């Protein structure tokens, strides 16, 4: 008997035998009963429908007295329901979004002068790396307040948090009335010189713009972000940039370092106060190498110890003498394992580039039992996409119909 296609609803009754006591395929049964090993997930307002597609579900029944009297129904949901899901995705608004918020390292960091406004002029090669936080955004029914939660203690949850500052800034600039419930899954340590908070702020600006139908350009987001932090504009680059000014002047450059080059991050539990580090900075003791020369050398010959200069290391080592000892021990124990060992930002993370493995003394010495360790690699992003954690499909694209992989 030829197979037929039926879109079964809750009230559809179909007899499977002829002229006898009937059995029913779909009596008072919801559509979900037919998914088998697949699943159907509907978010608020049926915004997103995600299917693990199955080719068909087959049901058969036979007359107990005569096996020759049979009816067969083949139910194939792909053709009609997946088209319906696609149409829903195209027209529905965004209500939830999960984004990766990566941190950065300073491959070199030159401090060139003190400005009239009291800040220091810097020239640095910034590069995003694969260590990062995960931030979940949900539209709040409230039109007056954001709500922030996190998985670690000590992170401020009020308006002093850069995430909330970024959302307030976006509303101020665009007139948006969207407020959010935000959960921050924190993996980047604080006080590390890795720009974790700045990345969170940039990610929040990007997310707010997605919920507002991309009302602002990336260039506008980048310019606005400098109002709340000098490192934030960098994250609106493609992931690698030559930064000057206070850090807010961002020049995108092609990646000068292979993205698959591995590294290890070693951060002691003590943090370095950026304010204290700059207080101890003496410009007459900084490097005299032209930062453009450093950039050209890295682009031509790659990473080496002599190009990974950080003018904030000496004052940071005064603030935290144990950090200087840590760098010296990593250099000595590495025995050529690393192409370069240096401090990122104003500390207190020591970076070893060239290997993902920390030196053995970090495991053996009781003085380092509480250090933070992480391997990482370099990371960039595509045009009109946010950063994606390696090994995942998490991403953010321009239109709500392209956001199915990031929506819970």
Residues designated catalytic: 104, 231
Instruction: Give the integer Cα–Cα distance in Å for 233 and 41.
Output: 37
Instruction: Give the integer Cα–Cα distance in Å for 341 and 257.
Output: 15
Give yes or no for a contact between 29 and 10, defined as CB atoms under 8 angstroms apart.
yes
Instruction: Give the integer Cα–Cα distance in Å for 20 and 15.
Output: 9
User: Tokens 């720009």 appear where?
Assistant: 195
- Where on the phi/psi map is residue 354: left (φ > 0), alpha (ψ -120 to 50), or beta? left
* Beta bridge pairs of residue 241: 126, 252
Based on the number of CB atoms within 10 Å of its own CB, is 332 exposed (0-12), middle (13-18) or buried (19 or more)?
A: exposed
Q: How far is CA 56 from the centre of its chain?
A: 37
């Amino acid at each position: 008997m030829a197979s037929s296609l039926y879109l079964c609803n809750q009230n559809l009754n179909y007899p499977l035998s002829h002229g006898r006591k009937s059995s029913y395929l779909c009596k008072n049964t919801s559509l979900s009963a037919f998914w088998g090993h697949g699943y159907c997930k509907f978010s608020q307002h049926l915004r997103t429908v995600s299917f693990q597609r199955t080719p068909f579900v087959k049901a058969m029944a036979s007359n107990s007295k005569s096996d020759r009297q049979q009816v067969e129904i083949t139910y194939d949901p792909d053709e009609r329901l997946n088209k319906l899901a696609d149409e829903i995705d195209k027209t529905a608004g965004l209500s939830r979004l999960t984004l990766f918020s990566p941190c950065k390292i300073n491959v070199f960091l030159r401090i060139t002068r003190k400005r009239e406004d009291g800040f220091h002029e810097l020239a640095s090669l910034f590069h995003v790396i694969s260590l990062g936080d995960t931030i979940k955004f949900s539209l709040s029914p409230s039109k007056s307040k954001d709500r922030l939660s996190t998985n670690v203690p000590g992170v401020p949850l009020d308006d002093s948090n850069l995430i909330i500052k970024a959302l307030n800034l976006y509303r101020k600039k665009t007139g948006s009335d969207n407020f959010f419930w935000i959960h921050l899954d924190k993996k980047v340590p604080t006080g590390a010189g890795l720009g974790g908070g700045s990345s969170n702020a940039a990610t929040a600006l990007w997310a707010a713009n997605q919920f507002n139908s991309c009302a602002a350009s990336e260039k506008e987001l980048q310019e606005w972000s400098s109002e709340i932090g000098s490192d934030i504009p960098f994250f609106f680059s493609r992931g690698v940039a030559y930064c000057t000014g206070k850090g807010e002047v961002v020049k995108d450059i092609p990646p000068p370092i292979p993205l698959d080059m591995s590294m290890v991050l070693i951060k002691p539990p003590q943090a370095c106060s950026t304010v204290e580090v700059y207080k101890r900075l003496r410009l007459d003791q900084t490097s005299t190498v032209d930062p453009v020369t450093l950039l050209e050398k890295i682009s031509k010959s790659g990473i080496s110890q002599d190009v990974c200069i950080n003018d904030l290391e000496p004052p940071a080592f005064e603030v935290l003498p144990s950090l200087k000892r840590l760098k010296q021990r990593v250099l000595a124990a590495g025995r050529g394992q690393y192409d370069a060992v240096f401090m990122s930002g104003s500390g207190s993370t020591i970076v070893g580039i060239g290997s993902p493995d920390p030196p053995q003394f970090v495991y053996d010495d009781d003085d380092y039992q509480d250090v933070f360790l992480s391997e990482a690699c370099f990371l960039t992003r595509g045009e009109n996409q946010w950063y994606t954690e390696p090994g995942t499909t998490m991403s953010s694209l321009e239109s709500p119909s392209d956001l199915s992989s990031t929506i819970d």
